[in-house]
Chain A
Amino acid sequence: MQRVCFVDSLKELLEGIDLEQKYRFPPVDEYSLENGLKVILLPDREQDGLLITLQLPFGKFSDICGKEGISELTLNLLQKGSGKYTAEEISDKLENRGVSIFSDVSEEFMRIGIRMLSKFVDEIFPVFWEMVYKPEFDKSEYNRLMREMVTALKAEIVDPHIIASHHFYKQLAGSQHPAGRFVSQDTLKKINFTDVVSFYRESFRPQNSTLVVAGNFVPRDFKNKWNKLLLEWKGNGRSQVCYASSIEPDRKAIRLIDKPDLTQTTIIAGHPVLGEVNPLRNQIILANYILGGGNFSSRLMAKIRSVCGKTYGVNSQIISEREFGVFRIATSTQNNHVGEVMAIIMEVFQEFCEHGIEEEELEKAKKFITGNMAFQLEGISNLVEKILWLQYLERPYSYLENFNELISEISLDSVNSAIKKTFFYEKLTVVTVGKRVEIEEDLKKFGTVKNYFYRNKIKD
């Protein structure tokens, strides 16, 4: 009796929760300078931190064909010397003040920034800005960075997830598409010092860039103090920005990459989808949550982990750039379970493609996605992330403010119709990395198997 009361009261609790709360994006001060640089200021007095991030619309997909890795190399080299300071002086100046510098090259954009206490801004901002607009490309620093990148690549070669991911994209997109090309020791060897300098000149221009400053500062003071310095960055106009095109799904042979020391096999299965420009994007996000994006609330996790105990984790993701996108299921399982896990993945995915989802599942997915919005606006790091994401997609702030409403209005029919248009059971590309002699026979039950060795060059 007591137990029933307990559950009832919880039900009431859940029913009382406002899941369609509308969030207001904090006010930002946004302007463009005469040199074309876009500046976004987000004052936030919660703590004494300051986060300064510069974003450019070039990433891995913009790397020169055959010279993949050039964007990462260039971005890292910026930190290794500027007009006034050597690499060692830069790290001393920043780290002595507790400042950390971060950089990241994503598929279609790159970022470089600093995280610091706001009280050091006068001392540190000029050092950071000089790195951006007046880099001193030093040959010995270039060589050192090259060695560092080669070492990191050599370390990656044993990681089954990275091997699987590279083969997956190669299989899916081929070498003609930027998604099918990636940095390797070979591509690094083809880059020379002059390439890096040219890449910088072509890409790093104020007209291409967005600078976001967030944290404890006064926008008016920032403008008065730093706009003049920001204007010292000259550029020859906006560079042409090309985003990777979407591609059509097409069934391929199963790739088996042999790594004989593995006791566990990594499996990736998926196909291309339309990226962020997809008008059905939100329907697809909800559908994917139910299939494998929702952790323990997802069908794949329930079946493969919770019921069968055949994996530590399985998920499905929609990885979206602007136009290009990928849907993929990823998991790992001991070699002797590969056949069984593959069969479950196929069964769950086929059922999903053919019959769609149920109303109750959709409601739960909506509740997660709308409720989770609160976390995405906590703290300046999350806010900056959202601002830059909106900039990249050229969406207004109201997109986030109205997001929960958009999600709430989505009907079951529209999701099931989107599933039919987006997910194709018969066009899955499957890549596995494991011990060939233990998994090949099992894989043959699911299609033609093409064999590769993990150390060999990744080919189309």
Chain B
Amino acid sequence: MLHKITEKTLRNGLKLVYLNKPQAPIVATQVWYKVGSICERDGIRGISHVLEHMMFRGSDNYRSEQHAQMINEVGGNCNAFTTEDVTAYINSVPRDSLDLVLALEADRMDRLTLDPDLFETERKVIIEEYHTYLNNPVAKAVLEFREEFFRGHPYAISPLGTLNDLNSMTVEDLRQYYSNWYSPDNAVLVIVGDFDEDVIEDKVERIFGEKKQRNIEKRQLEFGDHLYAPANRMVHKVKFDVPILMVGYPAPPSSNKDAIALEILQMVVSGGESSRIHKEIVRKESLAVMAGGINNLLKRAGMSMFFAAFTPDIPVRKIEAALKMQINRIRNEGINAQEMEKVKNTVLTNHTFELYSAENICHRIGFSECIEGNYSLWVKRLNTLKNIDTGELTEIARNYWKNESCHVLYLKPEKTNLFLFAAGLFRRFFKRAFGRD
């Protein structure tokens, strides 16, 4: 199916990528702008996200919130999100409503109203959103961890921005930012679903063709390569009852050829109950209650992260040593053929199930095009995976998962429940003495 994906770049630079998928009478449309928190400077941290909110607050031809309301009126759903690298607008509608979506998206591409009163209201909404994160002790600690991990790089500050900047930002800042970054040559329009492919290019040309470009490409070149902050160890006392340890290693940008290799390694170490850390740390040694990992691959840098949740009677140094031992085993011994087979099957299964949903396909195309550099990288991922040499993986693990560049965050509960502590010690003693729980 994916070989039928077609692309066309309009004269104004807007890239259209589309795929006809007629199995359900719906169509998913997403507009991805290559602007995210990485494009921000001090004083306007969080502005990409603020602008994302304001994109629903009216343009020349539609009043505030009318976009969402019109999509709802045809039975569709719309949403948006902002990351470090992109801001994306999502619309999924019954097939007959594609023209409506295109008209709505075209209007806000260059005709956003940015009304000062509505901005003041929306600022309050965003500050409420900010507080939702502040009130989650783990989310807050993770934000602080990444701030340290990416220190000196724009990725250090999350797309939510800072409260100071959210409070001081002006509507003029927004206008400037909108004018700088919202341009057809900085956007990718992805359409997947049940539509007439014979006319889609003409239709998009008719609706978006007159939009003027602003030559964003040149501005993007100003970003340099990221130099990772030196390894660091943080202990956060949190109002949370479960001790958690996180370790983070530098990872390549998502467009780097090593990214897929690291994805494989990550899956072997931490993917599911057959993973190495689950088998060793959770099951065999009973040190952690849960353990896992995730690769946070961004456009210009990344973080390869592992974590373990454990009981208060386990010394954190043991958890750290156990996690690192599994990582070092990969660095020293690599992975075996069975593990490689598992990764291939898992990736193929995930890929197969993604293809049932027009919105998922749309997202994968948008992500791959804007973050990894080209949507074909997603399409060809399975072939790339098949050709990876397991020996090469060991080398890649050695390059990225180095002890000297490992950041550690320990979320230490403010108070320890003495009863649970004693119960944990008893359990461990029992296990040692009798070899079972």
Contacts and interface: CB of A to CB of B under 8 A. Distances in A.
20 contacts: A10-B61, A16-B96, A21-B94, A88-B283, A139-B437, A147-B311, A158-B136, A296-B68, A296-B72, A297-B73, A307-B121, A310-B128, A367-B72, A368-B73, A371-B93, A374-B25, A374-B95, A377-B24, A378-B356, A379-B357
Contacts of A223: none
Contacts of A194: none
A17 B94 contact: yes
Interface string B90-124: 00111111011001000000000000000011111
A249 interface: no
A157 B240 CA distance: 8
Interface stretch (B3-11, B271-279, B366-374): B271-279
B218 interface: no
Contacts of B347: 98
A151 B356 contact: no
Nearest to B347: A98
A332 interface: yes
A371 B75 contact: yes
B94 A371 contact: yes
Contacts of B325: none
Nearest to A9: B103
A305 interface: yes
A47 B274 contact: no
Interface string B116-148: 000011111111110110111100000000000
Interface string B23-40: 111100000000000000
A443 to B, nearest CB: 18
Interface stretch (A30-38, A261-269, A414-422): A261-269
B128 A379 contact: no
Interface string A90-113: 011011111110000000000000
Contact of A49 (B239, B272, B356): B356
B100 A10 contact: yes
Contacts of B121: 306-309
A72 B68 CA distance: 38
B437 A143 contact: yes
A309 B123 CA distance: 8
Nearest to B193: A378
B35 to A, nearest CB: 22
Contact of B75 (A100, A264, A372): A372
Contacts of A375: 24, 26, 75, 77, 92
A154 B69 contact: no
A96 B100 contact: no
B124 A309 contact: yes
Interface string A356-395: 0000000010011111111101111100000000000000
Nearest to A23: B25
Given A48-B352, A158-B240, A140 B96 contact: no
B72 A364 contact: yes
B61 A6 contact: yes
B234 interface: no
Contacts of B271: 95
A1 interface: no
A311 interface: yes
A155 B75 CA distance: 37
Interface stretch (B223-231, B294-302, B315-323, B337-345): B337-345
B56 interface: yes
B134 A144 contact: no
Contact of A264 (B99, B131, B345): B131
A25 to B, nearest CB: 13
B346 interface: yes
Contact of A295 (B68, B100, B273, B352): B68
B160 to A, nearest CB: 11
A370 B97 CA distance: 14
Given A158-B240, A378-B358, A96 B68 contact: no
A-B residue pairs, 9 tightest by C-beta: A371-B75, A98-B345, A309-B124, A379-B356, A91-B273, A98-B349, A378-B24, A296-B68, A309-B121
A371 B355 contact: no
Contacts of A117: 345, 348-349, 352
Chain A's interface: helix, strand, loop or mixed, by majority?
helix
A17 B74 contact: yes
Interface in A284-312: 294-297, 302, 305-312
Nearest to A141: B437
B131 A334 contact: yes
A368 B75 contact: yes
B260 interface: no
Interface string B261-281: 000000000011110001100
A373 to B, nearest CB: 7
A322 interface: no
Given A17-B94, A309-B124, A381-B353, 6 more contacts: A14-B70, A91-B272, A92-B274, A98-B350, A99-B345, A309-B128
A449 interface: no
A264 B72 contact: no
Interface in B60-94: 60-61, 64-65, 68-70, 72-77, 92-94
Nearest to B282: A144
B242 interface: yes
Interface in A117-136: 117, 120
A88 B279 contact: yes
A379 B24 contact: yes
B241 interface: yes
B348 A98 contact: yes
Nearest to A95: B274
B156 interface: no
B357 A309 contact: no
Contacts of B123: 309
A275 interface: no
Nearest to B194: A374
A115 B350 CA distance: 9
Contacts of B61: 3, 6-7, 10
Nearest to B339: A96
Contacts of A311: 125, 128
A368 B97 CA distance: 12
A312 B125 contact: yes
Given A18-B96, A312-B132, A98 B60 contact: no
A180 interface: no
Nearest to A296: B68
Nearest to A140: B437
Nearest to B129: A312
A296 B73 CA distance: 11
A13 interface: yes
Interface string A320-362: 0000000000001110000000000000000000000000000
Interface in B390-423: none
B239 A96 contact: no
B4 to A, nearest CB: 14
Nearest to A264: B131
Contacts of A261: 135, 239
A148 B290 contact: yes
Contacts of A309: 120-125, 128
A247 interface: no
B103 A10 contact: yes
B75 A332 contact: no
Contact of B353 (A16, A92, A115, A294): A115
